């Protein structure tokens, strides 16, 4: 229970990596604000809601606060963060695990309306900026905190794309590149305040959207058999939030696949 008495906000926690990270924090004793858009069954082709995640956290003996938020609407992001802090009483950890998969996600620039690119920026990038704008001042008054922003290798390198396409498109890598640069800059500003700002690159993960969206073993040109389990980034996040000196990782973009091996986090010992 290394996080007993701590409060965490996990954005993107209705399913996928975000949910698994939220559960890991609860296992370590944290109370968790579970934020995402899906608050009822049938709203997504993929399983999971904020209420289901909250129920699993409560089953672990921790407090959970499901908070619906549309990350494309800045005012909702601000209100969610303030509501989470009020419910938790404090905020020691913020995790932003977001991947907008609407129109423009895998489209080339020529095929993507500007409005869809703006939506990608709002959801993948600006929602993290706005959350940090609310959370960082509170962390400063508390003497520190940990912020984990889920990044992507797509921000730095060309990734395999759909058959016949040159790349995965523009919206996703563009916003993840911005997020990575934001992480590095914010880490410099918050170092003296003992606030660690860490990037976490999960790699290609076999999450619910991959399972639902694949055709056989093909997920938009990616071989789903090569995808890593969600435990890999989740265990990385657990370690980063509970290690002796998270400031060591501040400003760095941690690669989950190699990180879990270096720290003997995955596969689990037998």
Say which range, 18-22, 72-76, 172-176, 185-189, has the weakest mean pLDDT: 172-176
Report yes or no on 27 lying in a domain: yes
Residue 110 lies in a domain: yes
pLDDT at 270 over 50: no
pLDDT at 162: 45
How many structural domains is the chain composed of?
1
- Long-range contacts (CB closer than 8 Å, 24 or more residues apart) made by 70-75: 70/37, 71/11, 71/37, 71/98, 71/100, 71/122, 71/123, 71/127, 72/119, 72/122, 72/123, 72/127, 74/122, 74/126, 74/127, 74/130
**What integer pLDDT is reported at residue 160 of this predicted model?**
55
Q: Read off the pLDDT of residues 225-247 as tens digits, 9 standing for 90 and up.
A: 988 899 999 999 999 999 999 99
Is 235 strand, coil or helix? helix
Residue 270 lies in a domain: no
* Residue range 250-262, pLDDT digits in tens: 999 999 999 999 9
Look up the pTM and report it.
Answer: 0.94
Looking at residue 144, which CATH number applies to its domain? 3.40.50.720
In whole angstroms, what is the distance from residue 21 CA to residue 27 CA?
10
Tell me how far apart the alpha carbons of residues 96 and 146 are, in angstroms, rounded to a whole number.
11
Does 238 map to a domain?
yes
Query: How far is the C-alpha of 25 from the C-alpha of 6, rounded, in Å?
Result: 9
**Domain span including residue 140:** 7-262
Task: Provide the b/e sequence for 32-69 (b: ≥16 CB within 10 Å).
Answer: bbbbbbbbeeeebebebbbbbbbebbeeeebbbbbbbb
Could you tell me the pLDDT band of residue 168, with boundaries at 50, 70 and 90?
A: low
Q: Assign 208 a pLDDT band (cuts: 50, 70, 90).
A: confident
Task: Write out pLDDT tens, residues 137-166.
Answer: 999 999 999 999 999 988 887 665 544 444
Helices (H), the chain: 16-27, 50-59, 74-88, 114-120, 127-142, 171-190, 208-213, 231-242, 256-262
What's the whole-number mean pLDDT along residues 78-107? 92
Indicate the pairing of strand 218-219 with strand 222-223: antiparallel
243 lies in some domain:
yes
In a domain, 74, yes or no: yes
Sign of CA dihedral 248, 241, 40, 210: positive
C-alpha distances (whole Å) from 222 to each of 171, 204, 214 are: 18, 9, 9
Q: Is residue 150 part of a domain?
A: yes
pLDDT at 66 over 90: yes
């Amino acid at each position: 229970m290394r996080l007993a008495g701590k409060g965490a906000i996990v954005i993107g926690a209705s399913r996928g990596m975000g949910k698994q990270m939220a559960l890991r924090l609860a296992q370590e004793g944290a109370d968790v604000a579970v934020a995402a858009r899906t608050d009822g069954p049938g709203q997504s082709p993929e399983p999971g809601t904020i209420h289901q995640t909250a129920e699993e956290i409560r089953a672990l003996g921790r407090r959970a606060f499901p908070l619906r938020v549309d990350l494309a609407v800045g005012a909702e992001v601000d209100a969610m963060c303030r509501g989470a802090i009020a419910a938790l009483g404090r905020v020691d950890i913020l995790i932003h695990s977001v991947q907008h998969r609407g129109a423009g996600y895998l489209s080339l620039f020529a095929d993507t309306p500007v409005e869809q690119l703006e939506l990608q920026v709002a959801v993948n990038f600006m929602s993290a900026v706005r959350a940090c704008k609310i959370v960082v001042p509170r962390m400063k008054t508390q003497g520190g905190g940990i912020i984990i922003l889920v990044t992507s290798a797509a921000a730095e390198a060309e990734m395999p794309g759909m058959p016949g396409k040159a790349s995965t498109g523009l919206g996703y890598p563009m916003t993840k590149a911005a997020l990575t640069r934001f992480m590095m800059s914010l880490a410099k500003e918050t170092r003296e305040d003992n606030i660690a700002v860490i990037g976490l690159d999960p790699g290609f993960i076999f999450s619910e959207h991959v399972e639902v969206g694949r055709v056989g073993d093909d997920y938009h040109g990616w071989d789903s058999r090569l995808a890593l389990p969600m435990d890999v980034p989740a265990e990385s996040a657990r370690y980063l939030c509970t290690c002796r000196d998270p400031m060591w990782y501040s400003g760095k973009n941690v690669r989950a696949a190699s990180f879990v091996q270096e720290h003997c986090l995955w596969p689990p010992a037998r």
